[in-house]
Amino acid sequence: LTPFERGKLLYKFSDIIEKNSNNLSYLESLDVGKPKSEAEGDINGVVNCFRYNAGAADKIEGATIPLGSEFVDYTELVPLGVTAHIVPWNFPLGMAARSLAPALAAGCTVVLKPAEQSSLSAIALGDLIKEAGFPEGVINIVTGYGEQAGSMLVNHPLVKGITFTGSVETGKIIYGNAAKGIKPVVLELGGKNPMIVFPDANISKAVDDAIDASFGNSGQVCSSSSRLFLHEDISEEFLKEFEDKALKLTVGPPEENPNLGPLASEEQYDKVMSYINQGIKDGSKLRFGGTRPNRFSKGYYVMPTLFEKVDMTTQLAKDEIFGPVAIVHNFKQEEEVIKMANAYDTGLVAGIYSENISRSLNLSRHLDFGSVWINGWFIGGLQAPTGGVKMSGIGRERGMPGIHNYLYIKNIGVHL
Ligand code: ADP
């Protein structure tokens, strides 16, 4: 297809997804327990993601390189070919769209492997692909376990590029396997993201953002604000408001449309509870939450949880928990908070809250993270690139850099 026709097809696909959004969001809730409005928001994001990339499909351009009057030299951006997309269960269709849409816009064919915990919406998407009229074989969906289906995809000789979102451990395995075929990879592997709040910040705004960023999707978000660094002058004021607002959040099944749904699986529930219990054993102070809400005797529900006085060397402080569990550290000096924020081997997102923009911009240069957000969280939506440094990953998704993951540069040089 021409780039323009690819764009048209992707626009059509977006419209079809939008028409089916009720069913798709229902399937997300059914699969991973997402509250109704959260699932609806996710599908809205999927539609927008396909639209963004549809619009970009015919704006992918190479360059001419001046080598002097005896030469003509230019680049063509060539689609990689067949690309594999291995996604996790926290935003099943959202993560799939983030990965598929730019690959399709670039002119690649795609094979999607949803997570074994959350394949329903991907399968439903399969019917919509037919309705949109994509040529046979352009979009393929393979369900299955990671070690089988995922690993076969990564190792398949026809697969020319791999995009993976998930855990650091699985990311290492995929990177290793991709290396055998010298295949390009995009890896987004999560983090332990610091939110740094200075005394001159708009505290209520910072609290609202911290609530959303720590507890939204029940904390099962790579870019959640899982470490709160509060300047000691405002720490208690912040925490009182934070606690007050957190305890008003509702927790329940998706159909009640609560603020927090259950965690996605028994495995995830057990993992989160074991971090909480270990944190208590290690001497961290549980300020609130830490259990299932009283009204439930079963189910994967966890109350919004906050720990204080957390030793930086404990698992609670270091690991990505992927549940509604935030921890707080206090700081006095900027140098001290830079050190603490950069202390671990992940670096996905950091946030700074301060009305002093010079300070924030300066500080952003000292934070080893793929994104730094100032006075807001989850900034950038579909257009701004996202990805990690250190063990948080390789490559950038979203925006135009997201499309360039699926293109290689061919240089054509002519001696006149
Ligand atoms: P989680 O996100 O639950 O921590 P993973 O990072 O292991 O788990 O899983 C994310 C995605 O990676 C899932 O689609 C899973 O099936 C897939 N996966 C797991 N192991 C492998 C593997 N060895 N090779 C390829 N894909 C894998």
- Above 90 in pLDDT, residue 287? yes
pLDDT of residue 53: 98
In ligand 1, the atom with minimum distance to the C-alpha of 116 is: 16
Residue-wise pLDDT tens digits, 237-264: 999 999 999 999 999 999 999 999 999 9
- Above 90 in pLDDT, residue 381? no
Mean pLDDT within 272-296: 98
H helix intervals, 20-150: 21-32, 36-56, 92-106, 120-132
Q: Which residue from 341, 372, 342 is spatially nearest to 354, judged by alpha carbons? A: 372
347 alpha carbon – ligand 1 mean position (Å): 20
CB count in 10 Å sphere of residue 323? 25
Q: Which residue from 264, 218, 223, 174 is spatially nearest to 351, judged by alpha carbons? A: 223
If one residue of 142, 143, 170 were mutated to test the ligand 1 pocket, choosing by the most ligand atoms within 8 A of its CB, it would be 170
- Above 90 in pLDDT, residue 104? yes
Q: Whose CA is nearest to atom 16 of ligand 1?
A: 146
Tokens found for residue 44: 């809205």
In ligand 1, the atom with minimum distance to the C-alpha of 177 is: 24
240 alpha carbon – ligand 1 mean position (Å): 39
Burial of 48 (0-12, 13-18, 19+ CB in 10 A): middle
Residue of 222, 232, 266, 320 with catalytic role:
222
Q: How far is CA 212 from CA 150, 205, 233, 236, 293, in A?
A: 32, 11, 23, 19, 19
177 alpha carbon – ligand 1 mean position (Å): 13
What is the C-alpha separation between 316 and 307, in angstroms, rounded?
9
> Is 222 noted as a catalytic residue in this protein?
yes
CA dihedral 212, 214, 219, 222 (to 10 degrees): 100
Ligand 1 binding pocket, CB closer than 6 Å: 86-88, 113, 115-116, 145-147, 150-151, 154, 166-167, 170, 173-174
Residue-wise pLDDT tens digits, 75-94: 999 999 999 999 999 999 99
Residue by residue, DSSP assigns 277-345 as HHHHHTT-EEEE--S--TT-SSSS----EEEES--TTSHHHHS---SSEEEEEEESSHHHHHHHHT-SS
In ligand 1, the atom with minimum distance to the C-alpha of 115 is: 14
Q: Whose CA is nearest to atom 20 of ligand 1?
A: 146
Assign 388 to helix, strand or coil: coil
- Counting residues of the chain whose pLDDT is more than 70, the rounded percentage is 100
Mean pLDDT within 150-171: 98
Residue-wise pLDDT tens digits, 125-158: 999 999 999 999 999 999 999 999 999 999 999 9
Tokens found for residue 313: 């060397």
282 alpha carbon – ligand 1 mean position (Å): 30
Place of tokens 């957190």: 246
Which residues 6+ apart lie within 8 Å of 74 measured at CB? 62, 63, 64, 65, 411, 412
In ligand 1, the atom with minimum distance to the C-alpha of 322 is: 4
Q: How far is CA 125 from CA 44, 261, 392, 409, in A?
A: 14, 24, 29, 31
pTM across the whole model: 0.97
Alpha-carbon torsion (193, 222, 159, 61), positive or negative? negative
Judged by phi (left if over 0) then psi (alpha if -120 to 50, else beta), residue 246 lies in alpha
Which residues 6+ apart lie within 8 Å of 131 measured at CB? 16
> Is 188 noted as a catalytic residue in this protein?
yes
Mean pLDDT of the chain: 97
pLDDT of residue 386: 96
Alpha carbon 226 to its chain's center = 14
What is the C-alpha separation between 208 and 269, in angstroms, rounded?
25
